[in-house]
Structure 1
């Protein structure tokens, strides 16, 4: 971001400029002006020429300082740089400010103040000494937020003062930057979930099937291609060297389902169950992208990222993984509770989709939603559910202890429908839960998947 200005070009601006310059006179400047006017009046009454000279000097000095300072403030440019512009929650970002004097006159004392939201910390203020012509000064400060979101930084306010302290003028820049605080991403171990296909090459479908000579799709020869793959029939037909196209492996897909229903989550703040679910969705998405998956984020409202309007439900399959990760994190940075009461829109979005891995972060469920989740499980892939125990989170927030949660009934029903369901309580680590996802698969109640639950934690 850069901001600067030029002096007004006459007309109506001149009157407002004079008023602004005179309005910036300090107490010292007003005192000098008043003393000068009084001395000029006394010299006229008493007929003293020397007193007239002193009065003119006292009156002209603050006016000259105000005029010079008013012109100088339009010759000062400012810029801001964020490093990084996207930062995880509880991490710090550095904001660098640069002030350039683009005039041929030196500046006086400069006072900088950058406007930042209260959640990022106190408003930074700096005092800079005189800046020589064509000179520059750089200062920096740090910001930190425990809450995810998008926060504007700016506009920057610059207060200029002349060397004699006669006048102070404030310059406001209109430009601002935006700091994106994304959810915390927890590194996850590489595991093989039951029924899961690997990122590349292990899917059931192939992009191209080379069934026979008539089914070959040739392409133009490129430098470095193996000459043994030359397709002579197509070469003779097109009059240029053609080669057989290689079989392209099908990239495995994964849908991360995030339950954002307001009725399904209790509490708020960085340590709430909903924030744990948002952080878990971010960690899972980034982990699977690094493993070569095409990842789609889906909410209970049926909205998906990347969206179907962007070129397909899994546009991440062909886009750069870094861009897809940034898109997912930016979405999760501002996601909030929805007004929905059920998971029907998400079920409709998944109906008829491609088979693949489904990872869900769920809040409180009733019998109807559990039955709906059973129909949402992909038939040709794994389905993992992290079910947040709201009762356990409420007890943990009060520092009390309790017996087994009623969420076990929901866990049992999900496992019977084919899900690998794990309970989540306060203090649970997604890293540890993720390690157990490949050990305790789906199955009837009473099997390993059911016996691993111990309160809200997992068996070591």
Structure 2
């Protein structure tokens, strides 16, 4: 238990008034000092007993898009045999604090409360520990108690509806040598080769067997699926903090659309982040969790094209940036043989003042505008 600033001020005033009353012989000052001291004593008596309740907190949902509503449900129960006076319960959420007033509880009674959680900032936010706060009617004294465990609120980037990009490698390679990256199992024939023990008998190629006099089988491999690489420019000099959040939203929207379409996608940043997925709705949650923790690069002077893109390749390269220099243009030109189709999404710009040689440029003021322009130009 401790006195609030108001309580401390009242106590000091009581002492001063008592001294003046004693020295000057003013009964009114003595009476006022006594009333003030009595109020402080009453506040101490009221707040001396700490809240004795069982509290359970749940988050609904525990993962939410930036700006979408999320609530905490607080279930408070009085397990004792005495009436529990009212108090305030609240959670620290990031740098803020959310609270709710809990009414008095009879013995064995239970009450449920809800309060909204702030979701304006992308990231992984700790909720709690829960703080129980009891104060007297005049707010002179306060008893504060931390209880319960903490929870995690994942604020994901905002997802806009965008078309999944349909470009990628050629889908058929029936003849000739295939790369080791070609996964197996589809109905595209990679080659016809001699049978070895363990091959599927149903894949026997009878015409080739008759022609060569040896058992020959079809070797199948999956064609390269549509894929793209998103390059998010996280350099401080390229995007201011608000614009960077818009860029993350846009990158997340493109990656989620590709994953849901069961396309391979890869998200790379100038600062070294490299997130790859083979597609499928099951990977979306993990992808967005990783994007929750994405931050801007630590220093200026980084090249636009990071090292992983110099050795990788295939499909379409989508660059999300707010400003590109001539050096950045040269970097994109250096990887054009690996990424023949390049699209630049220029955030915070107007159409006509942003040009990149050899690339298609879509200028937009924010992520929502960029998603609209993307859907108007890119076929799903």
Q: TM-score higher than 0.5 here?
A: yes
Partner of 2:363: 423
Contact 1:385 1:422 in 2 (8 A): yes
Q: Which of 232, 252, 257 is the matching residue for 1:258?
A: 232
Partner of 1:139: 113
CA positional deviation for 1:370: 0.5
Instruction: Determine which structure has the larger helix proportion and give its number.
Output: 1
- Mapped to 2, the partners of 1:352 and 1:334 lie a distance apart of 26
- Mapped to 2, the partners of 1:383 and 1:109 lie a distance apart of 65
* Structure 2 SS opposite 1:331: helix
CA positional deviation for 1:292: 0.9
Q: Say if 2:287 is the partner of 1:317.
A: no
Partner of 1:360: 319
Partner of 2:295: 336
Q: Say if 2:156 is the partner of 1:179.
A: no
Gap runs ≥5 in structure 2: 8-41, 185-189, 206-216
- Mapped to 2, the partners of 1:289 and 1:85 lie a distance apart of 22
- Mapped to 2, the partners of 1:366 and 1:337 lie a distance apart of 18
CA positional deviation for 1:386: 1.0
* Structure 2 SS opposite 1:342: coil
CA positional deviation for 1:256: 1.3
Contact 2:94 2:127 in 1 (8 A): no
CA positional deviation for 1:286: 0.5
- Mapped to 2, the partners of 1:211 and 1:244 lie a distance apart of 5
Contact 1:216 1:245 in 2 (8 A): no
* Structure 1 SS opposite 2:268: strand
Identify if the C-alpha distance between structure 1 residues 89 and 123 changes in structure 2 by more than 3 Å, giving closer, same or farther: same
Taking CA–CA contacts closer than 8 Å with sequence separation of 6 or more, which of the two structures ends up with the larger relative contact order?
Answer: 2
Give the TM-score normalised by structure 1: 0.57
Q: Which of 347, 355, 361 is the matching residue for 1:388?
A: 347
Partner of 1:110: 86
Q: Which of 34, 52, 62 is the matching residue for 1:85?
A: 62
CA positional deviation for 1:139: 1.1
- Mapped to 2, the partners of 1:374 and 1:110 lie a distance apart of 68
Q: Say if 2:249 is the partner of 1:279.
A: yes
In the TM superposition, 1:198-237 aligns within 5 A as 206-208=182-184, 209-214=190-195, 218=199, 228=202
Instruction: Determine which structure has the larger strand proportion and give its number.
Output: 2
CA positional deviation for 1:153: 1.9
- Mapped to 2, the partners of 1:378 and 1:366 lie a distance apart of 20
CA positional deviation for 1:356: 2.4
- Mapped to 2, the partners of 1:161 and 1:274 lie a distance apart of 43
CA RMSD of aligned residues (A): 4.0
Q: Say if 2:59 is the partner of 1:100.
A: no
- Matched residue pairs, number? 314
